[in-house]
Amino acid sequence: MTVAEGRIGGYARSVPTTASIRSGAGQEPRRRKHTRDRRGRGLRGPLAPPQVPLALTRAEQFDELVLDAVERLERRWPRLSEVELAVEEVPPADAEHWSDEAVPLGRVITDRPGEPVRIVIYRRPVEARAAGRPELADLVYEVVVEQVAELMGIEPDEVDEGRDGE
C-alpha cells in the first residue's frame, strides 16, 4: 500500500508515504467541477454562448451607430462604399482642422494621395452633446449626413431627403 491512513483531530485523511511521493502515486485525482445548484445561488457557468455579446462598451455601441448611419445612406449613395470610415475619441489638438465650431464632431480627409477618402467621427464630442441613447443615434446620423454632404459638395438635405432641414 502506498498511502497510509492517518487520523488527525478525529478526521481521517490520506498521508502519502515516501514511496508514493517518489512514484507520484499519492497525487489526488482531479475533482470534477461542481455544476449543481449549491446553496440556492443558481447554476454556475456562462449565462450566454461566447459568440453572443452580453454588453458592448460605449465605444463599441458608438461604432455600431456610425455603421448603421452609413448603411442607411449607402442604399441611396452606393459610392460611399469606397469611403473609409474612422471613429476617433477626440479631434486633434491642432486648430488648423477646426472650422468655426468650438469642437468639431467630424471631419472629411481628402488630402491623402493614393489612399481612399476618409470620414472621421469624433466620439467624445458627439456623446457629450447627446442626452440619451435615442438622441445619440439621431445625432450620429446627422453628423454622418453632414460629413457626406461636405464630401460630395452638396447640402445635407440632398444627402438625406427625409431630413427635417434642421
CA dihedral (95, 98, 103, 107) positive or negative: negative
Number of domains comprising the chain: 1
- Does 28 map to a domain? no
- Would you state the pLDDT for residue 73? 94
Is 102 within a domain? yes
Look at the alpha carbons of 80, 157, 64, 116 in this order and tell me if their dihedral is positive or negative. positive
pLDDT tens digits, 102-152: 788 999 998 888 899 999 999 999 999 999 989 999 999 999 999 999 999
Residue 159 within a domain: no
CB 143 within 8 A of CB 121: yes
Give dist(CA 141, CA 67) in Å, integer. 10
Q: Would 111 be classed as within a structural domain?
A: yes
Q: Any idea what the CATH number is for the domain that residue 140 is in?
A: 3.30.2010.20
Range of the domain at 144: 58-153
Q: Is residue 97 part of a domain?
A: yes
Average pLDDT over residues 52-62: 83
Q: What is the pLDDT of residue 70?
A: 94
**Whole-number average pLDDT of the chain:** 78
pLDDT of residue 20: 46
Angle of the 58-74 helix axis to the 133-152 helix axis, nearest 10: 50
Q: Is residue 38 part of a domain?
A: no
Residue 101 lies inside a defined structural domain of this protein: yes
Q: What is the model's pLDDT at position 129?
A: 94
